[in-house]
Amino acid sequence: MPHHDIVIIGTGSGNSLVTPELEGLDIAIIEEGRFGGTCLNVGCIPTKMFVLPADRVVEAADAARLGVTFGEPTVDWPAIRDRIFGRIDPIADGGEAYRRSQDFVTLYDQNATFVRERTLRLADGTEISGETVVVAAGSRAAVLPEVPGLERLDPDNGLHSSDTIMRLETLPPRMLVLGGGYVACEMAHVFAAFGVALTQVQRSDVLLTHEERSVSQAVTEAARRRFDLRTSTHLREAERVGDVWRVTVEDEAGQTEVLEAEVILLAVGRVANGDRLDAQKGGMQVDAGGFVVVDDQQRTTAPGTWALGDVCSPWQLKHVANHEARVVAHNLAVALGKIDAAPQTSDHRFVPHAVFGHPQVASFGPTAPQLDAAGISYVTKTQRYGDIAYGWALEDQEGFLTVHATPEGQILAAACVGTMASTVIQPLIQGASFGQHVLDIARGQYWIHPALAEVVENALLGLEVSAPAGTTGP
């Protein structure tokens, strides 16, 4: 049985574990899918490359408010698709080729499951073991086993997840997007912008239900203006009739309706892949949500076994996986005696996320109802884009930034919806992470006028907090 110093399962952030400190050890990498993992191949990177041209289409149509009118856009789907994957696919192929070229790395391109602690059986029956094991196996698109017709994906018949929807040969006349989370909202934005007659179905009364209520409502209202959005609507069954999907839905009044489309995108969440690995046979505890349980050093409950990313993280975000990979790489080097240092711990205090729809959304920290439920005292300020100078230039009457802080001036959370929300919110993530007082952030530096970042400055100045011991700066 081959025995390795390190066995890494997954080539997303797991691939970055092979740091200079660990090079030269006998390392095995297991990847049954496309090399590079979710983010590179079917997640963050290609989706945002599709979002950008979609944004341009929507912005062009919106420019009439500013006195500029364009003609109808022409969307060349094959050109957009091939430009994106013509860049991404060589990166995945190159990454795999590079790892195969390293004489201390063995790449197993097949499924593996645990048979006992630190021992796995490959699909061909071979068993391998490791002195240490890292589980970075990611997650997969969820299906709906309780809804007849939606129990399993079938891309050949037009029932897609985000894994396959971006490689369509042609744009369909009609599409149903089932779900109301970030994947559903981003893809609905893309395909609606590209001219597909789109219907989105969401069981809750708003989209993005985990956001601040005001953010969810703003995104929901914006979606209704662009395409057919069905909220408070439940899926009952689906069937393929010829070239068309017929999906029966039921609204909150109990009325049923059949929606038709050539293509369905099933975007109802993601499932951690620990079950596909039989993680429990490897000695790992798995929680009720299906996530491998880890401590703050990313150690699982099995000796010599770490986990990182979507397989153990409820955030299921690439920047979280990257952070955890850096922690694991360091701790592996410590455990294997390659460096003399103390173990590191992961910092999950202020984990941000963004939804690259239209409008864009970004947030971090607890929502107001969560703060209330936890009994935490806080003050809040909402600053509208339209009340700052750059907001006038944008003619923006919808974008806003909300900040929650302690009465003593420490940032607890923030949520933003509008132009470049994912960039606008970054100074607040920094301020929260480093424990800066809100007035020190607002007055301890210059803010370019009239830039969009002034929405942050004005929000901070609007918080009713006690002053710090001393505030200096411009």
Entry pTM: 0.96
Q: What is the pLDDT of residue 106?
A: 98
> Using N-to-C axis directions, what is the helix angle for 44-62 and 182-193, rounded to 10°?
50
Peptide bond into 450 cis (omega under 30): yes
Pairing between β-strand 352-355 and β-strand 361-364 as defined by DSSP bridges? antiparallel
Q: With cut-offs at 50, 70 and 90, classify the pLDDT of residue 402.
A: very high
Mean local confidence (pLDDT), 86-108: 97
Amino acid at 88: I
Q: What is the pLDDT of residue 24?
A: 84
Express each pLDDT in 4-21 by its tens digit.
999 999 999 999 999 999
Helix intervals (H) in 166-277: 182-193, 213-226
Contact of 284 with 300, CB cutoff 8 Å: yes
Q: What is the pLDDT of residue 338?
A: 94
Closest to 355 (Cα-Cα) out of 220, 156, 197, 183: 183
Tell me the CATH number for domain 3-141+271-335.
Answer: 3.50.50.60
Pairing between β-strand 411-417 and β-strand 400-405 as defined by DSSP bridges? antiparallel
Q: What is the pLDDT of residue 469?
A: 77
Q: What is the pLDDT of residue 471?
A: 52
In the DSSP assignment, the letter for residue 366 is -
Q: Quote the mean pLDDT of the chain.
A: 97
Residue 249, SS3?
Answer: strand
Domain boundaries, the chain: 3-141+271-335, 155-268, 359-461
Q: What is the pLDDT of residue 473?
A: 52
Contact of 228 with 199, CB cutoff 8 Å: yes
Q: Which two tokens stand for residue 57?
A: 């289409």
Radius of gyration of the chain (CA): 24
Neighbours of 66 (CB within 10 A): 11
Contact of 126 with 291, CB cutoff 8 Å: no
In the DSSP assignment, the letter for residue 468 is P
- Residue 396 makes CB contacts below 8 A (sequence gap 6+) with 385, 386, 418, 419
Amino acid at 465: V
Give the CATH H-level superfamily of domain 359-461.
FAD/NAD-linked reductase, C-terminal dimerisation domain (3.30.390.30)
Peptide bond into 155 cis (omega under 30): no
d(CA 144, CA 347): 34
Query: Could you identify the residue written with the tokens 């408070």?
Result: 232
Neighbours of 353 (CB within 10 A): 18
Q: Which helix (DSSP H) or strand (DSSP E) does residue 201 occupy? A: strand 197-201
**3-141+271-335 against 155-268: fold identical:** yes
Query: DSSP for 105-131?
Result: EEEE-S-EEEEETTEEEETTS-EEEEE
Closest to 119 (Cα-Cα) out of 111, 128, 110: 128
End-to-end Cα separation, the chain, in angstroms: 67
d(CA 420, CA 170): 30
Give the CATH H-level superfamily of domain 155-268.
FAD/NAD(P)-binding domain (3.50.50.60)
Catalytic residues: 449
Express each pLDDT in 422-439 by its tens digit.
999 999 999 999 999 999
